Amino acid sequence: MTKKRIVIFASGRGSNAEAIHDAVASGKINGEINAVVCDIPGAGILSKAEEWGVPAILADRKKFASREDFELFILQAIAPYRADLICLAGFMRLLSSTFISHYENKIINIHPALLPSFRGLHAQGQAVAAGVKIAGCTVHFVVPDMDAGPIIAQRAVPVYADDTEDTLAARILTQEHPAYVECVTLFCDDKLQVNGNIVTING
Ligand code: GRF
């Protein structure tokens, strides 16, 4: 099977991107990372991309007058890479329905909560504040609504009485990496099927 062409979008340190990179390098994921897109100058992901020898596209949101211009720039910049899959890995921008329509069912995201609970920012802090006893992460296909879209996989972790947003985030992160790698692996092996809101895994 032909290797899938992957473009990663990230805004920060890039530990999920690194997990995907490592799984590509080891041959677990039947794909190749063709480019990285980042919206924050100086973000850790940019040095990681350089280390990997992967082209990095910096789209500094502040340099664009509107979201339309920002997204158009990204669409044009990634077009030559003919992505089969876009992985949002800590990408802190909401993509418009126009952008998403160019890559329908080809954009996936990881969110540090058991969706549909705790969408948006500080999901781990929201979980601590709500007093839930189980938290986790969700990998899902991206739709225009924030942190919504067909769920591919979730992993759970316990929440302890003395947890803070940071301690819970660290525990969830240990599950994010294998969860994201598992989902990208399934995607690249053509094993994911989406019917409405339901994702089924073939085979
Ligand atoms: C992760 O917690 C991810 O779930 C969230 O942003 C964080 C990114 O971390 N969307 P990293 O940059 O992958 O280390």
**14-64 tens-digit pLDDT:** 999 999 999 999 999 999 999 999 999 999 999 999 999 999 999 999 999
**Which residue from 11, 94, 110 has its CB within 8 A of the most atoms of ligand 1, so it is best to mutate?**
110
- pLDDT for res 104: 95
The domain segmentation of the chain, as residue ranges, is 1-103, 110-138+146-202
pLDDT tens digit string along 136-185?
999 999 999 999 999 999 999 999 999 999 999 999 999 999 999 999 99
CATH for the stretch 110-138+146-202:
3.40.50.170
CA distances from 123 to 33, 137, 164 (A): 28, 10, 12
Å from CA of 16 to ligand 1 middle = 6
Q: How many CA atoms lie within 13 A of 18 on its CB side?
A: 13
Q: Is pTM beyond 0.95 here?
A: yes
**Nearest ligand 1 atom to alpha carbon 17:** 13
**Which residue from 155, 168, 176 has its CB within 8 A of the most atoms of ligand 1, so it is best to mutate?**
176
- The CATH number of domain 1-103, selected from 3.60.20.10, 2.60.120.200, 3.40.50.170, 3.40.640.10: 3.40.50.170
Q: Which residue has the tokens 């979730």?
A: 154
- pLDDT for res 123: 98
Nearest CA to ligand 1 atom 2: 112
Closest to 151 in 3D by CA, of 203, 177, 99, 186: 186
Question: Are both 1-103 and 110-138+146-202 of the same fold?
Answer: yes
Residues 126, 165: Cα–Cα separation, whole Å = 8
| pLDDT range class, residue 203, cuts 50, 70, 90 | confident
Å from CA of 12 to ligand 1 middle = 8
Q: Exposed, middle or buried by CB within 10 Å (0-12, 13-18, 19+), for 15? A: middle
Whether 140 is catalytic: no
pLDDT tens digit string along 92-144?
999 999 999 999 999 999 999 999 999 999 999 999 999 999 999 999 999 99
Residues framing ligand 1 (Cβ under 6 A)? 10, 12-17, 89-90, 110-112, 137, 173, 176
Nearest CA to ligand 1 atom 6: 90
